[in-house]
Every structure is written in C-alpha cells, then in structure tokens.
Amino acid sequence: MSLFKPIPFFSGPMVQSFMASFKSKADKSYGKNLEGEWRSVRTKKGVTLLARIHDVPSPKGIVILVHGWEGSIHSSYIIRTTKHFLAKDYSVYRLNLRDHGDTHHLNEGIFNGSLLEETYDAVLTLAKSVKSKLPVYLAGFSLGGNFVLRMAGKHSTAKAEEKIPGLKHCFAFSPALDPKRATIKMDEHPFLRKYFLNSWKSSLEKKGQLFPHLYSFHDLDKYQSVMELTEKMVKEFSQFRSVDEYFLSYTLSDLFFRTIKVPTTILTSMDDPVIPWKEFTEIPSSAYIDVVIEAKGGHCGFIEDWKRSSYYWRIMEKKMG
C-alpha cells in the first residue's frame, strides 16, 4: 500500500521531478542567507572537496547530504532538506562532489561516478570533526544515493579506524543501481537527455578553461547523447578500458548489498523517468536494508503539498527517531 499521497496537480512523474529541482525565490533567498562555515576537505590522496557546515546549538545529530549528478549543495532539494532538518535541531553538512557547485578549480582530475574513495574520505573527515559523540545520518539523492549506498558498504567492511564515527543510518533516494541502464533510459527521454547533456558539457567547458594544458573540449557539440559523451570521456580521460568496465565500477550488485551492515533505507518510485524501478525488487532481503517502492514520486521528487514538503523527510525522521 502506497504511503506517499501527492496532491493531484503534483502527481505526474515529470512534475514531481521538476518540482524537486526547481529553485524558487524562497530557496535562493534561504540558501543565500543561511549562515554556515565553508570547509575544504583534503583527502588522503590530495583531492579537495568543498563542504558547507551548519551547526545548531545542542544538536540531536548530524545530517550529511550528498547531491546528485550535475547538482550541488545549492540544489533545491538539498536546500529544502537542510532547512527542514535545521528547524528540527539537527546540524546539517552539505558536501559537493568533485567538479560540482563551481568547484572545478579545486582538482585537476575530472569527476566520474567511480570516485568513491575521495567521497568516503571526505565524509569520514567531516564525521570525525564532530567534537561530541553524536549520531550521524548520511543521505544521498540519485547518483548521490548511489555514493551513499557504496559508502554504507565500505563502512561496513572497513577497519575500526576507517569506519564513519557515529554512523546510525544511511538514506538513498532514487539511487542509480545500474548506471548504464539509467544512462540509456535518460537518453530515451528528450528533455532529460538535453538537460543533462547540456549541463555536463557546460561543466566540461569550465574544466577545460581552468586547465587548458590538460583538456581541450572543442568538439563537444558533436555529441548528441549522454552515452556518446560518456564513451568519449572514458576512452580519453579515464583508466577504464571500456565504457562497460566504467559502469561496472559503480553498479550495485546483489553481492554488494549483502556487504551492507549498517541500517539503510532506499526509496524509489515506479514512475521514475530515469531509474528502472524493477531493479529494486531484486535487492536481496536483509535485516539492515529497507526498500520502499512507491507508485509515484518521479525522480527525487516525492513532493507532498504546495509548500513542496518532501515525503522522504518523514521517512528520515521516523528512522532517526
């Protein structure tokens, strides 16, 4: 039985997906005026990621948020989730993935979906910076959800000193389980293909302008699908021998899910225009993993009302309580 009940006007998958990412004047104003500390996080291998730290007095815990591909800590769903949990007396830490949120200048290397180690190191560093012993909650959206699930697996198998201190629960909303299938499905949708392709091209152009001695992206106009551009990037700028090998590096298999030993909640919808929902029915049953498949919700949507309250906030609060 579906527990997510959007109002009729917001029930369509593209409306849900759009409303999740649409940055309203209120979002922009809140994000601009939100007090916090910028923090550069240096990983073991010398990668720098940028985070925004929002501490509250006597917090109930720490919520660390990881955005999706071509999003950032300024994305609407991140801003609204930050606002919600700060009001609930949780400190919130927003983390930019490499080359997201205007951080292209921080590292010479280009972002790709396989970069788990640096993301885990950054989250580990942020969690270790917490002075008092507080519960830590990790939440990711779309590709960020994929990263969070991999971090849950890495945490579960890590040595004691490499575990994320205080980690109590991981949340993955509309995560990509099979990135190759997700890319194919994205390319089949004209609006989504154009949006993500243009956004990615813009990101690569910024990288090329900052590091002209390393990258030349003069031919981007000829690539008309996300898959075509992925093949180019893998061939020219990665250590992977093929695009299939690249996708496999962050595809989440049945065997992978059996490694997770930290409470984890996964939320997806049957009408997600990017992520095939049937993949989630194949996740092996586990005492640690709760898979929630809703009939509606779009991609990272789950918008419940005119104020754009998110259903996943209620899921998080229930698990965190």
Nearest to 189 by CA among 295, 299, 34: 299
Structure tokens, 55: 């501490």
Q: Which of 75, 169, 299, 310 is catalytic?
A: 299
- What lies within 8 Å, CB to CB, of 149 at 6+ separation is 140, 170, 172, 175, 252, 260, 264, 266
Active-site residue (options: 142, 174, 269, 310): 142
129 catalytic, yes or no?
A: no
Would residue 189 show up in a list of annotated catalytic residues for this protein? no
Distance (Å) of CA 61 to CA 79, 132, 167, 186: 18, 10, 10, 36
Q: Residue 127 gets which letter from DSSP?
A: H
For residue 266, give the nearest of 119, 145, 144, 92 by alpha carbon: 145
Catalytic residue check, 2: no
DSSP codes joined into one string, 179-204: HHHHHHHHHHSHHHHHHHHHHHHHHH
Dist CA 65 CA 52 (whole Å): 10
- Angstrom CA distances, 88 to 66, 83, 168, 211, stand at 19, 9, 17, 42
Q: Where are the alpha helices (DSSP H) in 56-189?
A: 76-87, 116-128, 143-157, 179-188
DSSP single-letter state for residue 209: H
The token duo for 134 is 């507080």
**Annotated active-site positions, please?**
142, 272, 299
